[in-house]
């Protein structure tokens, strides 16, 4: 299988803290890959490095063999990497329709046009409405995002990444804080993505991880600890020690 | 089959709703139309006030320029006079040395020259916090003022004298009562307002509002944040430059005062009075500011700045939020009226 995303000895230091310590990940095309680990393990930092929010202090990032280590964040999106944030990062004053429309028109290369009115390209509106409808956001698409309940905002957060039609989707705890009933919507939408879309999922809920992932990487203290198929990771005594040991200690 | 058709209908309805909602944003409201009718009427209603009205129009254009930066892209500036002054001197030099004699062409040339300055200096404000931006913009304006002060060609502290303007389009000569100057300024303001209105209602304008709210997420959906900031900074500089050029053309004089810090501070004050992010704030603010200045100057010649300062403090303390909240019901009313008028127009048409 072809590798889509690869990191080579990726490292990130924040002063004295080594948040990412020589992480070498290999993610195959179409993989449903989970990245797990205790709080503060450095999972979010890895996503920030992959998406260009942070620059690594060492190592390289390859997208389909191309070095993108120094590429600006927005260019990585154009190459097909999209993400969601652990803590919602939305546009509070815009409506969900405008929000999703932004991502669509950017993807279609119309985001910088200043002579055209918003909404005058039917392709943008149609695609935006389709995404909103898929996430059950159509009924609130004209409201200010800031006024939406948390669950709806979380859906906008996920829908916004999907609207970028990524080849590689990085999900940072997408179901965090979402009530059980709405979790299903999010997971169903992720599960319904085309098979060739590669997904990297950070998640704490182990049931969810094991039902979703075909491969799991465990990160502890910034280091890649174990990587393998779900069954193997589940059986690995070291993983048990990290997870169960923590609980036993606590 | 049936189900597919039904869901097709449903999604078509949603798309139609979405289109309608987006189109509504860019629609002219009755208040807007009234505003511009009043502006046009002022030409005939106040023929003796054309000099001060010209000043107001120019100030309004200058504030509109800052609104594009502050209200839409969230870029703060304490040195916006740099562009106003640059445009003012550019227009003066073009006329004085007969480079471009026709005023409208000279105005455009001054605007384009100022855009170049805006483009170059935009890279200084890309990085950094609001505080850095305040300092950098302030610094650029100070440097420019000092350059104008030292150079021979700008006339130093004496200013640029001996400017004689040709008739507009070769036909309309500037008169001492400022009639032609006012009509000219008002037309330019309106034309540039139309362009600005188009820009803020475009995908580009929407992307500005997004990156103002959350640059991190804007970049994460593929928006070239810095590119957009450079673009709007350049455009805003051009607007300010044209405002400055209008001042030179209508007064046939340019002095160091066009680059004064006070001018940068005033325009910020005007926007705070009128409100940001809806394009009319700068225009309404300019009217209120000039009226206030006039009224207070008559009332207490020495202390008008004291009163202006006090009013500023009150506005900031009371908070624009609270002020807008009291006007929200009015806005909602206007919105409803707009919708009704437009649906009426469509219904009958
Ligand atoms: N911007 C930052 N500056 C300083 N330290 C940071 C920053 N971001 C993350 N860290 C530190 O890096 C470590 C890993 O954090 P993070 O990647 O958020 O972990 P996780 O997502 O696995 O919970 C933590 O110790 C955190 O405090
Ligand atoms: Mg995290």
> Which of B107, B82, B101 lies closest to B185, judged by CA?
B107
Q: Is residue A9 included in any domain, yes or no?
A: yes
Q: Is residue A234 included in any domain, yes or no?
A: yes
Q: Is residue A36 included in any domain, yes or no?
A: yes
* pTM for this predicted structure: 0.91
Would you state the pLDDT for residue A250? Answer: 37
Number of domains in chain A: 1
Q: Is residue A112 included in any domain, yes or no?
A: no
Of all residues in chain A, the percent with pLDDT exceeding 90 is 74
What interface predicted TM-score (ipTM) does this complex get? Answer: 0.94
Is the pLDDT reported for residue A172 higher than 90?
A: yes
Q: Is residue A82 included in any domain, yes or no?
A: yes
Ligand 1 atom at minimal distance to the Cα of residue A43: 22
Would you state the pLDDT for residue B340? Answer: 67
Helix (H, G, I), strand (E, B) or coil at A29: coil
Domain containing A165 — which CATH number?
3.40.50.300
Average pLDDT of the residues in A203-222: 90
Which residue segment(s) compose the domain that A157 sits in? 3-93+144-249
CB contact A91 to B (< 8 Å):
yes
Name the most confidently modeled range: A82-96, A106-120, B320-334.
Answer: A82-96
Weakly modelled stretches of chain B, pLDDT under 70: 1-7, 319-349
Question: What residue ranges line ligand 1, CB within 6 angstroms?
Answer: A 14, 17, 19, 37, 39-45
Would you state the pLDDT for residue B1? Answer: 44
Adjacent-strand bridge partners of B254: B160
Would you state the pLDDT for residue A178? Answer: 83
CB pairs under 8 A between A and B: 144
| A19-70 pLDDT, tens digit each | 999 999 999 999 999 999 999 999 999 999 999 999 999 999 999 999 999 9
Query: Which range has the worst mean pLDDT, A84-93, A163-172, A192-201?
Result: A192-201
Average pLDDT, chain A: 91
Would you state the pLDDT for residue A237? Answer: 85
Q: Are B39 and B190 in contact (CB under 8 A)?
A: yes
Question: Environment class of residue B313 by beta-carbon count within 10 Å: exposed (0-12), middle (13-18) or buried (19+)?
Answer: exposed
Is the pLDDT reported for residue A248 higher than 50?
A: no
Q: Is residue A107 included in any domain, yes or no?
A: no
- Cα B149 to averaged position of ligand 2 atoms, centre (Å): 55
A121 or A83: which carries more pLDDT confidence? A83
Token pair for A66: 């191309």
The residue whose CA has the least distance to atom 4 of ligand 1 is A14
Is the pLDDT reported for residue A185 higher than 90?
A: no
Contact assignment for B202 to A115 by CB distance below 8 Å: yes
Q: Is residue A72 included in any domain, yes or no?
A: yes
Please report where in the chains the tokens 């807008």 appear, as a residue.
Answer: B324
Would you state the pLDDT for residue A153? Answer: 94
Q: Is residue A120 included in any domain, yes or no?
A: no
Q: Collect all residues from B whose CB is shorter than 8 A from any CB in A.
A: 11, 14-15, 17-19, 21-23, 25-26, 198-199, 201-207, 209-210, 213-214, 216-225, 227-228, 231
């Amino acid at each position: 299988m072809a590798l889509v995303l690869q990191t080579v000895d990726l490292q990130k230091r924040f002063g004295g803290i080594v948040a990412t310590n020589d992480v070498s990940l290999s993610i195959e095309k179409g993989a449903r890959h989970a990245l797990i680990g205790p709080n503060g393990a450095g999972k979010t930092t890895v996503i920030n490095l992959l998406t260009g929010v942070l620059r690594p202090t060492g190592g390289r990032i390859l997208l389909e063999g191309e070095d993108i280590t120094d590429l600006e964040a927005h260019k990585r999106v154009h190459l097909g990497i999209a993400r969601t944030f652990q803590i919602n990062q939305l546009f509070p004053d815009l409506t969900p329709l405008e929000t999703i429309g932004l991502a669509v028109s950017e993807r279609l290369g119309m985001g910088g046009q200043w002579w055209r009115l918003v909404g005058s390209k039917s392709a943008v509106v149609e695609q935006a409405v389709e995404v909103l409808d898929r996430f059950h956001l159509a009924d609130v698409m004209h409201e200010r995002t800031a006024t939406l309940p948390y669950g709806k905002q979380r859906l906008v957060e996920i829908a916004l990444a999907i609207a970028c039609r990524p080849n590689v989707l990085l999900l940072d705890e997408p179901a965090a804080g979402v009530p059980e009933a709405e979790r299903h919507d999010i997971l169903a939408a992720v599960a319904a993505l085309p098979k060739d879309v590669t997904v990297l999922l950070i998640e704490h809920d182990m049931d969810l991880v094991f039902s979703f992932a075909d491969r799991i990487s465990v990160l502890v203290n910034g280091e890649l600890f174990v990587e393998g198929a779900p069954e193997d990771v589940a059986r690995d005594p070291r993983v048990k020690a990290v997870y169960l040991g923590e609980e036993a200690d606590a | 089959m049936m189900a597919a058709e039904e869901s097709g209908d449903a999604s078509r309805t949603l798309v139609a709703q979405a289109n309608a909602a987006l189109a509504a944003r860019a629609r002219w409201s009755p208040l807007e139309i009234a505003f511009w009718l009043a502006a046009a009427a002022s030409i005939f209603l106040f023929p003796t006030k054309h000099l001060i009205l010209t000043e107001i129009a120019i100030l309004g254009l200058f504030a509109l320029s800052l609104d594009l930066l502050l209200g839409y892209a969230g870029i703060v500036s304490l040195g916006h006079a740099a562009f106003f002054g640059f445009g003012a001197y550019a227009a003066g030099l073009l006329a004085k040395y007969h480079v471009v004699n026709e005023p409208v062409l000279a105005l455009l040339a001054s605007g384009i020259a100022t855009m170049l300055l805006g483009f170059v200096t935009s890279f200084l404000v890309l990085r950094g916090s609001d505080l850095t931006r305040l300092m950098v913009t302030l610094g650029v304006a100070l440097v420019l003022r000092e350059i104008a002060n030292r150079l021979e060609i700008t006339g130093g502290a004496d200013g640029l004298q001996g400017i004689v303007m040709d008739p507009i389009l070769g036909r309309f000569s500037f008169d001492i009562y400022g009639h032609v100057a006012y009509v000219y300024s008002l037309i330019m303001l309106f034309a540039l307002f139309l362009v600005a209105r188009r820009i803020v209602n475009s995908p580009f304008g929407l992307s500005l509002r997004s990156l103002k709210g959350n640059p991190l997420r804007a970049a994460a959906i593929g928006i070239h944040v810095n590119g957009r900031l450079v673009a709007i900074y350049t455009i805003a500089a051009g607007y300010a430059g044209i405002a400055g050029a209008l001042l030179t053309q209508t007064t046939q004089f340019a002095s160091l005062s066009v680059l004064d810090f006070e001018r940068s501070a005033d325009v910020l004050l005007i926007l705070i009075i009128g409100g940001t992010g809806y394009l009319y704030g700068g225009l309404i603010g300019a009217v209120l500011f000039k009226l206030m200045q006039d009224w207070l100057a008559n009332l207490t010649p020495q202390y008008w700045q004291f009163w202006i300062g006090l009013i500023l403090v009150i506005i900031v303390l009371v908070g624009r939020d609270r002020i807008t909240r009291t006007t929200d019901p009015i806005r909602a009313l206007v919105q409803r009226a707009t919708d009704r008028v437009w649906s009426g127009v469509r219904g009958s048409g």
